[in-house]
Structure 1
């Protein structure tokens, strides 16, 4: 079916009016929305804490009701609390809810910024078709034509003509000839600058929102990606690092950032605006116009910061999501959430759903004792004593305890029978075969060390017997154990 011109135009208009910006401007409570948003948010205050915004909106509603702007016959204010109104604005896309420095804040969306800018221009009168505005258009067209020119000769001619005009102006200044512009013309130039600057906040917000939307798309796509984590890791990390190039708005912003991203450029812009405001013609500007001129540099700086913050946040979120990506776990969580929602839907459809007791506390796991200090390496309490009853001990092939450590009890009892001093090698050779294992030699040396040792110049050699009957010879410096008395220790 062929669409007529009228029908096509009507469909375009219907689509346009679905835009949140136009929805804000033509809604029933549009004057209230524009007034409150313009009071709560400003170029110097782009983000407002949620609690503060609710208080300020409530105060504005009380003041307007007290002034008689909301009566039973003429409802000009929306119903509900300030919190409900702000949350509604978030749902329709006029405000965005973000977390900054662990605080929940509201920010104007690009649609709301554009609507406020349109309302401000309409309330301040229609823009004039001035020489400055036409000159801006002609300069933009001329620059576009020059940049699009591919013929080197023509581009060279255009540059030479531009240089000749500059040389003529410099020569006139050298001769002292200057043609000062009248105040009316300078006023037109200032109004044109203000007009151009008013569009910047909405442009910056659109870039930040396009990056946030791209981040949400990437995360959603990642959750749907059934490939193994190793296959998607490199791809999505690369998208996170180059998040700015992922949207047309981001690529355009990168080009603009080369002009305004340097702090020196912002400082130069601030100095130039201050110099303009000190000129005699500035007295013709209204207080609001002077304030807007003075705030241009801060608007640019805040807009750049907003976009760069959105870029860092998107890169961080994508990177974290990729590192924790687990397709199986994600599908399990999605299935669980869908089953819960389906159960709630079925329950809500019953005629008498009844009362559901809320889960006020989660069950606690009985984990006994938690360490309270990481610096304390000692256990929280003494361990239970080892059982000494060997009646229920059974070994399948052999008693593996024979391969354990030294038999200290037997060795201590054996040493007590050796007198005040003894040679370690001779004592080990005369010990029972059960206590002549290699580890028992170490245990005997430890006991002798506690009593006192005297090393000689000779070398002692002993033969140790392992539990399986094999032997092992050890050589060491001759050692004599001498019992140390308390008097000897004092001396």
Structure 2
């Protein structure tokens, strides 16, 4: 057998991965252009609404240039489709907002496009030297024979001593040529470009572990101790046996060594100080300068994901009551389990009809209480209360509680003005008899004066009306000053003779 069947299966599995599906098809270049324009090393996540608007802008720019784009597709629809195809990841940011970020498959595809777009030799001295140095270093680490390791270390020491003595004896030191440096830059950027996808794979593995543990806790088919043991075992297996886990573990050890991080940062500055660095693209220079940031950010994202997983386990252990086996709790957990299963295949606008309340039970009328003869008895007869009847009010009391005495007020006003000639309304009122100085009589006086169109009302000034209640209490009221004369008395008298109530 030639093994072609097995190769066909492996090729089919590789082509079915999201990495190659992103590059495949009519819109592969469109997807790569949009994702590379939206995301970068500095812009690792974008808010959901912002990315929808950004993709709409890209669509408009391409249409303006006559470039064919997916028809009848908006930024929201495209982003939702990319999430479903595992090219975008949608999650909550630390501030609670919903954000998009690239998956490890998308990062691998974009790195592949980036590498293919660079002009470089596939086989070079720097690359072979890097391979030889790496093989030599790991061969030393792999050797379990103490004498063999000592021999290897002595050989390296002799090589370094010879080079040191040559330089110390006046030997020349020539900087690497531009071609050699450019090739070294390309090899270095290849290695650095693989870091984000490696970190993202660790983060996604943590997320899958998180979902599996939540599913196990909701099912309650196993005790919490078994779930914790599996979590610790899976975490150790992830960091020790998978390539991305080993990369993260090495990066984490690197972050703990401050001197090594400073050395890395200084060496990158030396590399960028070479004249050959001027030929690099601005994006490549940014990637080289951000190497330490990429390592720190990738490690921080993985640690944050692991912290969320540990927090979920802690909250479940603290809040879980092993004795709470009520029927309602089991029903709710079953509903939540079915909902999570439905969400794995449901689209963004899928709907399901859910009855918020159960249907009303159809039962006959139930008597709420038995017949009570006392409830049907007539009320007792009313008691005679002739002795408790109060004395009826007199006419004077009713009059004192009634409205203003317009006729008496008009007559008193005419007499006062005829006698004095000129006076204000308050002066006339304050000189009236007690029975005409009730507070309500002020309203009657103002009502009478409202018919005098030529009455002199002073602007901004008031005067006091000292009223007397029927019970003898005195009250003072303020009203606009109104200057009256005998002319007004004549008008009031003429109106009274004609039977007009308002002058």
How does the TM-score come out when normalised to structure 1? 0.63
Give 1:211 shift.
Answer: 1.1
Aligned pair partner of 1:51 in 46, 49, 52: 49
Q: Distance in 2 between matches of 1:22 and 1:161?
A: 45
Aligned pair partner of 2:13 in 12, 15, 21: 15
Paired position in structure 1 for 2:464 = none
Question: 1:172/1:48 Cα in 2 relative to 1: closer, same or farther (>3 Å)?
Answer: same
Give 1:244 shift.
Answer: 4.2
Asked if the contact 1:204/1:307 (under 8 Å) is kept, the reply is yes
CA RMSD, 1 decimal = 3.0
Aligned pair partner of 2:287 in 292, 300, 305: 292
Asked if the contact 1:245/1:251 (under 8 Å) is kept, the reply is no
Secondary structure of 1:169 counterpart: helix
Question: 1:356/1:280 Cα in 2 relative to 1: closer, same or farther (>3 Å)?
Answer: closer
Give 1:265 shift.
Answer: 3.7
Asked if the contact 2:218/2:333 (under 8 Å) is kept, the reply is no
Paired position in structure 2 for 1:425 = none
Secondary structure of 2:46 counterpart: strand
Paired position in structure 2 for 1:212 = 207
Paired position in structure 1 for 2:128 = 134
Q: Distance in 1 between matches of 2:338 and 2:97?
A: 33
Q: Distance in 1 between matches of 2:74 and 2:292?
A: 37
Paired position in structure 2 for 1:195 = 190
Secondary structure of 1:44 counterpart: coil
Once the two structures are superposed, the pairs formed by residues 175-186 of structure 1 within 5 Å of their partners are 175-180=169-174, 181-186=176-181
- 4+ residue runs of structure 1 moved beyond 6 angstroms? 338-343, 355-360
Q: Distance in 2 between matches of 1:43 and 1:341?
A: 33
Aligned pair partner of 2:143 in 146, 149, 152: 149
Aligned pair partner of 1:99 in 74, 89, 92: 92
Structure 2: gaps (5+ residues): 343-351, 358-503
Q: Distance in 1 between matches of 2:191 and 2:85?
A: 27
Asked if the contact 1:117/1:198 (under 8 Å) is kept, the reply is yes
Question: 1:153/1:236 Cα in 2 relative to 1: closer, same or farther (>3 Å)?
Answer: same
Q: Deviations over 1:400-428 (max 9, x none)?
A: xxxxxxxxxxxxxxxxxxxxxxxxxxxxx
Q: Deviations over 1:108-165 (max 9, x none)?
A: 0000000000011122245531111111111222222222211111111001111111
Paired position in structure 2 for 1:272 = 267
Asked if the contact 2:196/2:294 (under 8 Å) is kept, the reply is yes
- Higher-Rg structure is 2
How does the TM-score come out when normalised to structure 2? 0.61
Q: Distance in 2 between matches of 1:61 and 1:156?
A: 63
Give 1:79 shift.
Answer: 3.8
Asked if the contact 2:47/2:99 (under 8 Å) is kept, the reply is yes
Asked if the contact 2:120/2:183 (under 8 Å) is kept, the reply is no
Question: 1:341/1:149 Cα in 2 relative to 1: closer, same or farther (>3 Å)?
Answer: closer
Asked if the contact 2:202/2:248 (under 8 Å) is kept, the reply is yes
Paired position in structure 2 for 1:245 = 236
Paired position in structure 2 for 1:422 = none
Aligned pair partner of 2:32 in 26, 34, 44: 34
Question: 1:339/1:262 Cα in 2 relative to 1: closer, same or farther (>3 Å)?
Answer: closer
Q: Distance in 1 between matches of 2:292 and 2:170?
A: 33
Question: 1:143/1:357 Cα in 2 relative to 1: closer, same or farther (>3 Å)?
Answer: closer
Give 1:296 shift.
Answer: 2.0
Secondary structure of 1:199 counterpart: helix
When the two structures are aligned, how many residues end up with a matched partner? 338
Paired position in structure 2 for 1:87 = 80
Give 1:222 shift.
Answer: 2.6
Asked if the contact 2:251/2:295 (under 8 Å) is kept, the reply is no
Paired position in structure 2 for 1:478 = none
Paired position in structure 2 for 1:6 = 4
Secondary structure of 1:200 counterpart: helix
Asked if the contact 1:240/1:318 (under 8 Å) is kept, the reply is no
Q: Quick check: 1:332 aligned with 2:331?
A: yes
